[in-house]
């Protein structure tokens, strides 16, 4: 694990709370702090700023909002002094999980983008995004994904979350659709009970199971007045 003070102020590298962001900034602004600490702190704050600038307003957390709107964090001056700083910082101070190799062979900080809407069941991408921006254990707006006390994610609830996002309408009726879908998913036998009730009511037209190699899922569309 890195021994730099940077990772004592922000245990997960990127600041996860406004308090951690403020501590990182003060360390960056401290001219008596080790030079490379200031370089790493600047890189982390600046990278989080780049991420925040690419996100929709509704996805910003408190730390990102502070970084974007608090005048204290504007116009940060880079303490990097040539290639020697870059060569030292990248391999020694930034955990490899935050790095990626670009096409030209150079390394850079990895930017976690919002889940791709065209791949609604890319559970790994959703899980990584939730762990970084969902702030498990703190105030967040994510609902429906279960964690244990070690912040291990319950994979089945993650799939349910992804399925809900894929099927639910984007209209004002979305909360109602989410409630209905959650009700069905919370009662695994409800589908078969409904089939049995249908078959009892329509003896001459029993339910016929649909078999095939492909299953098409369609998003629910509902007028706003049905919310």
Per-residue model confidence as pLDDT tens digits over 73-124: 888 888 877 666 655 554 444 445 555 566 676 655 555 667 777 888 888 8
**pLDDT of 127 strictly over 70:** yes
CA angle centred on 118, ends 64 and 222, rounded to 5°: 90
- Write out pLDDT tens, residues 181-211: 777 777 778 778 888 999 999 999 998 877 7
pTM beyond 0.85, yes or no: no
- Exposure string for 203-219, b = 16+ CB within 10 A, e = fewer: eeeeeeeeeeeeeeeee
Higher per-residue confidence, 64 vs 225: 64
In angstroms, the CA 207 to CA 36 distance is 69
Query: What per-residue confidence (pLDDT) applies to 197?
Result: 92
- Reduce the DSSP state of residue 81 to 3 states and report it: coil
C-beta of residue 40 within 8 angstroms of C-beta of residue 94 = yes
As a whole number, the mean pLDDT across the chain is 77
Q: What integer is the mean pLDDT of 32-61?
A: 83
Name the H helices within 12-170.
18-29, 35-54, 62-69, 83-93, 123-133, 155-167
**pLDDT of 227 strictly over 70:** no
């Amino acid at each position: 694990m890195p021994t730099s003070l940077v990772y004592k102020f922000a245990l997960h590298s990127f600041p996860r709370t406004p308090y951690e962001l403020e501590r990182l900034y003060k360390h960056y602004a401290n001219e008596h702090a080790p030079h490379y600490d200031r370089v790493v702190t600047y890189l982390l704050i600046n990278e989080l700023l780049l991420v925040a600038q690419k996100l929709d307003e509704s996805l910003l957390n408190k730390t990102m909002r502070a970084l974007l709107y608090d005048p204290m964090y504007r116009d940060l001056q880079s303490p990097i002094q040539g290639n020697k700083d870059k060569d030292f910082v990248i391999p020694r101070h930034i955990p490899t999980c935050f790095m990626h190799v670009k096409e030209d062979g150079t390394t850079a900080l990895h930017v976690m983008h919002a889940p791709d809407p065209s791949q609604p069941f890319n559970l790994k991408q959703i899980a990584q995004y939730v762990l970084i921006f969902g702030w498990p254990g703190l105030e967040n707006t994510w609902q429906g994904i279960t964690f244990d006390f070690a912040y291990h994610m319950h994979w089945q609830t993650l799939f349910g979350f992804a399925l809900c996002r894929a099927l639910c309408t984007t209209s004002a009726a979305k909360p109602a659709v989410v409630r209905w879908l959650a009700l069905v998913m919370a009662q695994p036998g409800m589908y078969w009970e409904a089939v049995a009730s249908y078959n009892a009511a329509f003896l001459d037209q029993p339910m016929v199971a649909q078999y095939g190699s492909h299953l098409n899922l369609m998003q629910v569309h509902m007028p706003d007045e049905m919310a």
